[in-house]
Amino acid sequence: MEALLKRELGTSVLKRAGHSGGGCISEGQSYDTDTGRVYSSKLGEQLANLHLHNRRQMEKQKKEMQTVGKVLEQLEVVNQFGFHVTTCCGYIPLVNDWQDDWVSFYAQQRLQHQLGMVEQTYGDREARELWAKLQLNLHQLFTGIEVVPALLHGDLWDGNVSECSDGPIIFDAASFYGHSEFELAIAGMFNGFGSSFYNAYHEKIPKTDGFAKRQQVYQLFHYLNHWNHFGDGYRGSSLRIMKDLTK
């Protein structure tokens, strides 16, 4: 079987990487090749297209409104951040109430929500004090950039990605409309997806000033979420990021 896979995939290396993650009810086997995931570049391109879809709809709508005599097409455009239903990241439900301002949405419905659970379970004074400082700095990290609502998977790491003969597959989503940069944060915590993925993604959505710092802000949510799921083994990482962002 592995010889057949090597021939079909055009690879000289085929290493078992364990079963696919995400709590899937079906059983699958993951493999690493000498070129990484076979469809890594395609995943990056398709993810960028997903993130750009709403922006493109907005641009198309604006162009049609400026064209005299044109019958306007009914375009589905999302102008706020949030989602129309509750979604979950792990077993914790996400607050997805619609808001106009991204930083306010992220501070209140992502970070504050997680830190509220930390406070309830652990009563962590240091986390509470750092959050009070960090809230004052958040808007500065978004100076000069435009955040357009993008449809996100919401929990996109290697365990929630697979492949079939037609291309990449993503599953176990925690979807909402948010900042496209948020999508890349958790993968960066767990070794990422490889250079071909990021090259394809950033060819369509280039990095903007302050990207690295904002990745820390977005990783903070996932570390806090892990803290609330798995215990205070993730406390140190959460506090380290907050300390770094409040220097």
**Residue appearing with tokens 């060819």:** 203
CA distance 97 to 224: 20
CA distance 23 to 49: 26
Residue 21 CB burial class (10 angstroms; 0-12, 13-18, ≥19): middle
244 is catalytic: no
Which of 32, 100, 124, 155 is catalytic? The answer is: 155
Residues acting as catalytic residues: 155
